[in-house]
Amino acid sequence: MAPPFRPLLPSGWTEHRAPNGQFYYYNAATGHSTWERPATVPPPPPLGPPHMSGGIVSHSFQPMPTVIKPIPDTKWSIVFTTEGNEFYYNSETKQSVWQVPEEIADAVKSFKETEEKNAQALHDTAGVKRKANDEEQMTSEEVKRAKGGLDNAANEGTEYEDIAFQLQFMEEQERQEQLSTTGSGDSGDNDNSAVHEIGDKDSQTQIKDKEVELSSEERMLMFKSLLRDMDVSPFAMWEKELPRIIHDPRYTLIPTLKQRKELFDEYCKERVVEVRAEKINKAKDLTAKDEYLSLLEEETSHRSHWDSFRKRFKKDPRFKNFSDDKERERVFRKHIHELKEVEAERKRIQQKKAQEDFMKLLREMREIKPDSSWRKVKRLIDDDPRYVAVQSSSLREELFREYCQKLEAEDEEEMTRKENERKQRERKERYSLKNREAQVRGERRYQNYDRNAAKRKAMRVKSILAFQTLLTDLVRTHEVTWDGKKHSLEQDPRFYGEGLEDNDKERLFNEHIGEIYQKRLKSYHQLLSEHVKLDTTWIEIQPTIKEDPRAVRLSKNEALLEELFDKYLAREIENAKKEFLELLKENQFIEYRTRMVQLSENGAKDETGAEKEKVRGLTKEEIHDVLKDDNRYLVLSHMPEVRDELITEYLNNVEAPKMTVHQGRD
């Protein structure tokens, strides 16, 4: 497969062609693949580390026989693999290691020395062997790299699967190639037969009695023992188990991956039977134990003994189906121990209850005092079942003493409690007495306050009255001010009435002069009404009234009097107008006639009929005539134009709304 001019590949590596035709290199043992051709390594250091044998035996070197040589005086053998490696195998522990175990280091050394001597005699094959060895060894560096690759393969799940997938088809290819070149045979046996041939030749020429070639059967067994040692599950995935077993020397005993896979399947087939059997046995053991336990449950008590139990049930299937006597006894003892613990616990609870009940019994005996005698009390209660339940008489007495102490403590407690209560009660009483006193004091204070207020109020009224008489006596005109008059008022003792403040006095003073002013204004109005008509002017009247005391007393100020006159006259005119309108309203005749006029003008018939033609509007004279005797008419005689205006206005007012009413009726 590899072109002849190319250097040999290190052991474990195979050459392949990628889909694009490019060569790549694959190490089945490490799962490592690379485009670069791995360099052939120089001769290795003595006792170099193990190399990871590849899954596919390279066709470019001659396979070596697998040989096992027991190392004298040890349990170990040295195994030479088909690829020229060696490892050590312990036939007793089934352990396989690459490195020389320390315990046999000397033995190996001397063994090797003798081998060396033998080897010199066996020139041909030994030469081949060494050559192969040199070519196939890897440097320690290479191993590290390979191991790194392997770890990666284990970690990154997909890698090993890809490898396996690839490998499967590479082997297929391989098989086809072999078929086409050899034209016969089965690929599986091909390698083996080659090994056998060489092995046979070896044994014919060199193998001494101590040296035994491993048969393919043995190799297969060792490979399977590897799987077993790694506890590979029969349900495992082959590709996933690969990284776990690849380190082991026994892995290399089988030359191709395909064969390894087949052995793996075989191993699984055997193992699954065992696993099933184990499972069934386990289940059986479990039921047997269950049944044995139920036997113990039913037939033992905390007082049972092993020997008698065994004698009694040794023929019972529940007894004999379970394990062996040793285990039966162990389980029995464990069970009895548990029962004893349960029993002890039950007793403890029972005793506790009995003691509590006994205490209750004592408490029911009211006549027991702290200093009662046990001898006497005992006689009172010794027929009670609660007395009997406490079996030890010394315990009963002890409990009684305990009870008496308790009683004493309780009595003491009771006394302190009562003492405290008494103290508290006294404190409370003192407190409530104080409270009452305070209340009474408060009430008295309130009553005093009340009486004083009434007194003060009466005094104030008296003072006000006194002050008012003072004002009446001393203030006879409204044309004074508080500040101007205050001084003269202060001369009188009535000014100092009890309970009167300064502002009270000022207020009373202002009220007083206000009253005087109103009285005098009223008199002035009276005076005016005696002389004034509605058209009277100030100039006309002023001479008439100016000497009248009713004017003089109000004010000597003519301008002020004129102003008051104007106000008076304006009000009088307003009143006269209002009253005249009242007069017009009161006089229905006017309204009636006005309506009649309106009806006839509209051509409507009048119910009275006769006067139809005569209907006409009342003249102003007629209206005046009707009203002329009324004082309210007469008052306005001084303002006839105003009176006429009012009449016209009234007539307009009467006509307008009534018109609408009539039209609405038609």
Partner 1 sequence: MPKIRHARTKKPPEGFEDIEPTLLEFARKMKDAENEPHEGKRRVESLWPIFRLHHQRSRYVYDLYYKREAITKEVYEYCIKHGYADGNLIAKWKKPGFERLCCLRCIQPKDTNFGTTCICRVPKSKLEAGRIVECVLCGCR
Which residue ranges make up the site for partner 1 (CB under 8 A)? Answer: 17, 19-21, 157-158, 161-162, 164-165, 168-169, 172-173, 176-177, 179-180, 234-240, 265, 268-269, 272
Dist CA 333 CA 373 (whole Å): 49
Contact present, 264 and 238 (Cβ < 8 Å): yes
Q: Could you tell me the smallest distance in angstroms from the CB atom of residue 171 to partner 1?
A: 9
Task: Determine how β-strand 86-90 pairs with β-strand 76-80.
Answer: antiparallel
Dist CA 351 CA 348 (whole Å): 5
Nearer to partner 1, 235 or 431 (CB): 235
The one-letter amino acid at 411:
D
Q: Could you tell me the smallest distance in angstroms from the CB atom of residue 141 to partner 1?
A: 33
Q: Could you tell me the smallest distance in angstroms from the CB atom of residue 247 to partner 1?
A: 23
Nearer to partner 1, 242 or 268 (CB): 268
Q: Read off the tokens for 599.
A: 């009806």
Residue where the block lists tokens 């027929």: 383
Nearer to partner 1, 233 or 663 (CB): 233
Contact present, 89 and 137 (Cβ < 8 Å): no
| Among 211, 205, 260, CA closest to 238 | 260
The one-letter amino acid at 394:
S
Q: Could you tell me the smallest distance in angstroms from the CB atom of residue 34 to partner 1?
A: 19
Nearer to partner 1, 136 or 239 (CB): 239
Nearer to partner 1, 234 or 617 (CB): 234
Contact present, 49 and 98 (Cβ < 8 Å): yes
To the nearest 5 percent, what fractions of the chain are helix, strand and coil? 70, 5, 30
Q: Return the ∠ at Cα 172 (arms to 168 and 176), rounded to 5°.
A: 170
Q: Could you tell me the smallest distance in angstroms from the CB atom of residue 185 to partner 1?
A: 15
Q: Could you tell me the smallest distance in angstroms from the CB atom of residue 183 to partner 1?
A: 10
Q: Could you tell me the smallest distance in angstroms from the CB atom of residue 227 to partner 1?
A: 12
Nearer to partner 1, 181 or 435 (CB): 181
Dist CA 595 CA 586 (whole Å): 16
Dist CA 541 CA 537 (whole Å): 6
Q: Could you tell me the smallest distance in angstroms from the CB atom of residue 234 to partner 1?
A: 5
Q: Could you tell me the smallest distance in angstroms from the CB atom of residue 255 to partner 1?
A: 20
Nearer to partner 1, 183 or 657 (CB): 183
| Among 563, 579, 557, CA closest to 528 | 563
Q: Could you tell me the smallest distance in angstroms from the CB atom of residue 5 to partner 1?
A: 16
Nearer to partner 1, 164 or 528 (CB): 164
| Among 482, 478, 484, 483, CA closest to 556 | 478
Dist CA 536 CA 202 (whole Å): 178
* Cβ count near 576 (within 10 Å): 21
CA within 13 Å, CB half, 461: 5
Q: Read off the tokens for 194.
A: 């080659």
Q: Could you tell me the smallest distance in angstroms from the CB atom of residue 126 to partner 1?
A: 37
The one-letter amino acid at 399:
L
Nearer to partner 1, 17 or 347 (CB): 17
Q: Could you tell me the smallest distance in angstroms from the CB atom of residue 16 to partner 1?
A: 10
Dist CA 476 CA 469 (whole Å): 12
The one-letter amino acid at 175:
R
Nearer to partner 1, 235 or 446 (CB): 235
Q: Read off the tokens for 407.
A: 């009683």
As a whole number of angstroms, the longest Cα–Cα distance in the chain is 190
Nearer to partner 1, 280 or 438 (CB): 280
Q: Could you tell me the smallest distance in angstroms from the CB atom of residue 149 to partner 1?
A: 20
Q: Read off the tokens for 551.
A: 């004017």
Q: Could you tell me the smallest distance in angstroms from the CB atom of residue 76 to partner 1?
A: 33
Nearer to partner 1, 141 or 231 (CB): 231
3-class state of residue 549 by DSSP = helix
User: What's the DSSP call for residue 24?
Assistant: E
Q: Could you tell me the smallest distance in angstroms from the CB atom of residue 283 to partner 1?
A: 12
Nearer to partner 1, 175 or 378 (CB): 175
User: Which runs of consecutive H residues, i.e. helices, occur in 365-392?
Assistant: 374-381, 385-389
Q: Could you tell me the smallest distance in angstroms from the CB atom of residue 9 to partner 1?
A: 20
Dist CA 286 CA 292 (whole Å): 10
Nearer to partner 1, 238 or 387 (CB): 238
- Residue 152 has φ and ψ, to the nearest 5°, of -60, -45
Nearer to partner 1, 258 or 577 (CB): 258
Dist CA 523 CA 428 (whole Å): 79
Distances, alpha carbon 27 to alpha carbons 57, 112, 457, 485, in Å:
11, 31, 129, 139
The one-letter amino acid at 467:
F
Contact present, 502 and 536 (Cβ < 8 Å): no
Contact present, 14 and 163 (Cβ < 8 Å): no
Nearer to partner 1, 168 or 203 (CB): 168
Nearer to partner 1, 279 or 418 (CB): 279
User: What's the DSSP call for residue 184?
Assistant: S
51-87 burial: b if 16+ Cβ within 10 Å, else e: bbbbbbbbeebebbbbbbbbbeebebbbbbbbbbbbb
User: Which runs of consecutive H residues, i.e. helices, occur in 185-324?
Assistant: 187-205, 216-229, 238-245, 257-299, 306-313, 317-320
Q: Could you tell me the smallest distance in angstroms from the CB atom of residue 272 to partner 1?
A: 4
